Each structure stands twice: as C-alpha cells, then as structure tokens.
Amino acid sequence: MSHYRAVRGGWQRHFAAVQPETLIPSDISLSESHVIHPATRPRPTIDYSRVALLSVGHLTNDMYGNLITSLTPYLVIRGEISTSVAGLVVLTYLIGSSVLQPFVGHMSDRSGRRVFAVLGPIWVGFAAVAIALIGNTATILLLAGVGGIGTAAFHPQAASMVQRLSHHSRGWVMSIFSMGGNVGFAIGPLLAALIATAGMRFSPLVLIPGIAVTVALALYAPPTGSDRDTPGSEPLGVTLARTWRSLSAIVSIIALRGGIQYALLLFLPLYYHAHGASAQLGSYYAFVISLAGAAGGLAGGRLSDRMGRKPVVVGSLILALPLLVLSLTVRGPLVWPLLVLAGACLLASNSVTVVQGQELLPSNAGIASGLTLGLGFGLSGLIGSAMAVLADHIGVATAIFLVPMLAPVAAGVALWVPDRTRPLVRAVA
C-alpha cells in the first residue's frame, strides 16, 4: 500500500510540474482563429418535413374555418338564413375559435398529448360540410360553435409543436407555419364559391384532403412536450403577473392588424361596386392581399431572426399605411403590385408576434399561442365588426380609408413590447 501511494504521489507531482503550454504541440498556436465561438458552432438542423406538415395542417384548418364564414352569403341567397343570422354565425365561430384557445393551450401544455393538433382540422371540416348541407338556423349556429372549438384545439398545440422544432430560427419556422394558415384563409372564399356553383350536395368532397392530413398528422406530427418537462420553470401565475403588459400589447397588435384584414375583406367588394366596378373585383383584390401576406410572413419571420422582432413588426406596419392608401386610390394595372406590397407588409409580422408571445412564456407555449392566435384574432373580428357599424353611418367610401390608419396605431403599440431575441450574426471566417 505504501508503495502504491508513493507511485501515485510521484505521478501527481509530475503532472503538476508540467505547464499547460507544454501539452500543446509547438506548431499549434492558441490564436483566436482556433477558438470555437458560440456563433460559429453548428446549429441544430430544422426538421423541415415536420414543419411543412404542420403548415399543411394549418392550411387545411384555416381553409375549413374560413369556409364556414364564406358559406353564409350563399345560405342567405338561398333563403335558408337571414343576413342577421349570417352575422351571428360568424360571431359564434369567432367566439368558439378565439376565446377558448388560451384554455385549450393550457390543457395542451399540461397534457403533452397530440390529439388537439391531429383532430382539429378534420373537426372543423365536418362542421363546415354539415353547415352546407343543413338548413336549420339553430343547427347552423351550433355547428359554427363546434367548428370554432376545432380551430381552438388545433392552433395552440400545433404552434407549440413548431416552436419546439427550432430553438435558433423560431421566426423562420413560425413564418412557414403561418404561411399555411394565410394560404388556407385565402382559399376559403374560393372554395365556398366552387361549392355554391357545383351544388351544396357535393360539399363532402372537400373532406378528402382533411382526412389525408389527419392521417399524416397522426403518423408523423412531432411529439409535444408539457410544462412539466421544463425543469426550474416558474409557476404560470408568476410568469403572467410579470409579463401581462407585454402580452396585452402583443394581443392588441394582432387585433388591430387582423381588424384591418377583416375590414378590407368586407369593404373592398362594396367599395368597388359603389364605384361602378364588379363586387367580384374587390374579392379578387382581397384574395391577393391575403396571398401576398403569406409570402410577406415568410420574409418577416426570416428577418426577425436576423434583425430582431421589434424592428420587423414596427417597420412593416408603418410601411403598410401608404401602400394600402395608394392601392385604394390608384386605378389600372399598377394596383396589382401595390396590393401585393401592401399585403406583404401588413402581414409580415403575422408569425413574429406569435413568437414574441412564446418567448414571453417559454414554458407555456400553448397558452402563448392561444392568446396570440386565438384571443388576438378573435378581437380582430370585433374590430372589423365595429368598422362595419361605422361604415353604416359614414359610408363605405369614407370608412375604407380609415382602416389603414389602424396600422400605425399597431406600430406604436409594438414599441412597448420588449425584444427578447438575439439577432443572428454570421461568424467571420
């Protein structure tokens, strides 16, 4: 034993005497170029296949959701419901799809199960098809609420899944997810017109893509964690007490921005019809704005990862004001590129504000997504309705020019939201 201690002590003295620089070959210098900085470390790859799958699910869900609201004018024309009931259908759907989202998001955070994201789109699809086939007023209102619940189930959990698929490019991956919803929202009215032309009895055919998406989500959707998986996270009540001002600002931005979109969807056909053009032309313009917004959302998400969230939100909303006003005043071919630019700027921050909410509640992404995707867009419907009431008093031709003025108001609110992202800086070789 004494011999062992003597040998061990000798080795310890030997290594203690060795200087650190002697352990490094003389031809290798410890210059800064050999130090691996955090910015140059390889980042985890993004699972684009699953991000794309969730984006397709978002497209399907919002296509069915906007199909519910877009079918109401045709039901009025057929004499199955009155105009006032059509307004109630839209309001019932918005209440079900928006108010419930924070609560469903909380359930998603607690359970960690994928059922909400998997079954949400097809749930909304069945409700939309049933509305097309059933002419009873009370049943239509009930189905609108049921469809809203399906939307409330899908959005917070799917957005939480997307957030977990990337830790360094959340703005970019969320913009891909949001693009699907924007495209689906734009397709909804076109699908309603197609069903009305072919006949309501053919409406069950629109369930085919929904069934395929449901199967794909069940097989390949990423697992969703729960707030219990985050060690050391503070209680939800404490987090909300600390961040409620910023969360309220984000919800207000989304409500104002969405109110602009809803008001334009309503006013554009009426505005151009009043000026001697076809109402369909206004609907086409609204479609272009929504579709361009999907592309703008992609660009905004990518820029927010590199420049920060706040500059993208504030800058895009400020640019949207003159572009929207010009698109309403210009006639001829020039109006089309103006509409594209206006829609891209208006909705460039669509995904960015969702990520801002998730960064404020990192351990409760489902609730954050429910507040932003649900409550914010629900309030936007109320703002759009308020603008419609105002248009009844001052006229659509005047009210439509007040709608873009909401964009700088939203930009002003965005200045109060803290920017918690660190812009990505490329390492210099």
Cα(344)–Cα(300) distance, integer angstroms: 9
What are 155-194's pLDDT values in tens digits?
A: 888 888 887 787 677 778 888 998 899 899 888 888 888 8
What is the pLDDT confidence band of residue 44, given thresholds at 50, 70 and 90? low
Q: Is residue 113 part of a domain?
A: yes
* pLDDT value of position 23: 42
Q: Can you state the angle between helices 115-133 and 137-164, rounded to 10 degrees?
A: 150
Q: Based on the domain organization, do 275 and 305 belong to the same domain?
A: yes
Joined together, the tokens standing for residue 346 give: 């208006």
What is the pLDDT confidence band of residue 413, given thresholds at 50, 70 and 90? very high
Q: What percent of the chain has pLDDT over 70?
A: 79
Cα(250)–Cα(413) distance, integer angstroms: 8
Looking at 23-37, 266-280, 399-413, which range is the least confident one? Answer: 23-37
* pLDDT value of position 243: 76
Joined together, the tokens standing for residue 289 give: 């704005």
Q: Quick one: which of 323, 339, 200, 321 has its CA closest to 281?
A: 339
Per-position DSSP letters for 394-422, written without gaps between them: H-HHHHHHHGGGHHHHHHHHHTTS-----
What are 207-228's pLDDT values in tens digits?
A: 999 999 999 999 998 876 654 4
**CA-only gyration radius of the chain, Å:** 26
Joined together, the tokens standing for residue 313 give: 């939100």
What is the pLDDT confidence band of residue 18, given thresholds at 50, 70 and 90? very low
Of 165, 189, 223, which marks where a domain is finished?
A: 223
For residue 185, give its domain range: 49-223
Most confident range, picked from 5-19, 85-99, 163-177, 188-202? 188-202
Q: Quick one: which of 265, 320, 285, 293 has its CA closest to 181?
A: 293
* pLDDT value of position 20: 43
Residue 85 DSSP SS3? helix
Cα(426)–Cα(406) distance, integer angstroms: 36
Inform me whether the pLDDT recorded for 405 exceeds 90: yes
Q: Based on the domain organization, do 203 and 315 belong to the same domain?
A: no
What is the pLDDT confidence band of residue 321, given thresholds at 50, 70 and 90? very high
Q: Quick one: which of 258, 292, 205 has its CA closest to 380?
A: 258
What are 137-152's pLDDT values in tens digits?
A: 899 999 999 999 888 8
Q: Based on the domain organization, do 218 and 244 belong to the same domain?
A: no
Cα(294)–Cα(344) distance, integer angstroms: 7
What are 359-398's pLDDT values in tens digits?
A: 887 766 667 766 776 778 778 878 887 888 888 888 889 9
Q: Based on the domain organization, do 171 and 265 belong to the same domain?
A: no
Q: Based on the domain organization, do 126 and 92 belong to the same domain?
A: yes
- Dihedral over alpha carbons 265, 269, 275, 277 (to 10 degrees): 140
What is the pLDDT confidence band of residue 252, given thresholds at 50, 70 and 90? very high
3-state secondary structure 274-300: HCCCCHHHHHHHHHHHHHHHHHHHHHH
Q: Based on the domain organization, do 56 and 130 belong to the same domain?
A: yes
pTM, two decimals, is 0.72
Q: Based on the domain organization, do 399 and 341 belong to the same domain?
A: yes
3-state secondary structure 143-196: HHHHHHHHHHHHHHHHHHHHHHCCCCCHHHHHHHHHHHHHHHHHHHHHHHHHHH
Q: Based on the domain organization, do 287 and 394 belong to the same domain?
A: yes
Joined together, the tokens standing for residue 237 give: 């009540």
What are 122-135's pLDDT values in tens digits?
A: 999 999 999 999 87
Cα(169)–Cα(300) distance, integer angstroms: 12
- List the CATH number of the domain containing 272: 1.20.1250.20
Q: CB neighbours of 309 closer than 8 A, spacing ≥ 6?
A: 171, 352, 355, 356, 359, 417, 419, 420, 421
Number of domains in the chain: 2
- What mean pLDDT value characterizes the chain? 80
Greater confidence, 14 or 63? 63
What is the pLDDT confidence band of residue 21, given thresholds at 50, 70 and 90? very low
Q: Based on the domain organization, do 169 and 277 belong to the same domain?
A: no
Greater confidence, 266 or 127? 127
